[in-house]
Amino acid sequence: MEHCPECGNLIEDEGFEIGEIIECPECGVELEIISINPLEFEVFEEEEK
Ligand SMILES: [Zn+2]
């Protein structure tokens, strides 16, 4: 389990796959799964500007 880097909300592992984009239920930030065991993710930022 890990916590959202933006709001600290606990994100539970629900069978994610590497490369999957999930959305934090608390703050709505998009997170890209980069590792499954242990679960790790980083904020997914679309290229804009
Ligand atoms: Zn969050």
One digit per residue, the tens of pLDDT, for the chain of length 49 reads 789 999 999 998 889 999 999 999 999 999 999 999 899 999 998 777 6
Residue identified by tokens 């890209």 is 32
Note the pTM of the prediction, 2 decimals.
0.82
Q: Tell me the CA–centroid distance for residue 34 and ligand 1, in Å.
A: 17
For residue 13, the model assigns a pLDDT of 86
**CATH number of the domain at 2-43, please?**
2.20.28.160
Domain ranges of the chain: 2-43
For residue 47, the model assigns a pLDDT of 76
Q: Tell me the CA–centroid distance for residue 49 and ligand 1, in Å.
A: 23
Instruction: State the Cα angle at 26 between 25 and 32, rounded to 5°.
Output: 55
- Find all residues with CB under 8 Å of 41, minimum gap 6, and list them: 2, 11, 22, 31, 32, 33, 34, 35
Q: Tell me the CA–centroid distance for residue 30 and ligand 1, in Å.
A: 8
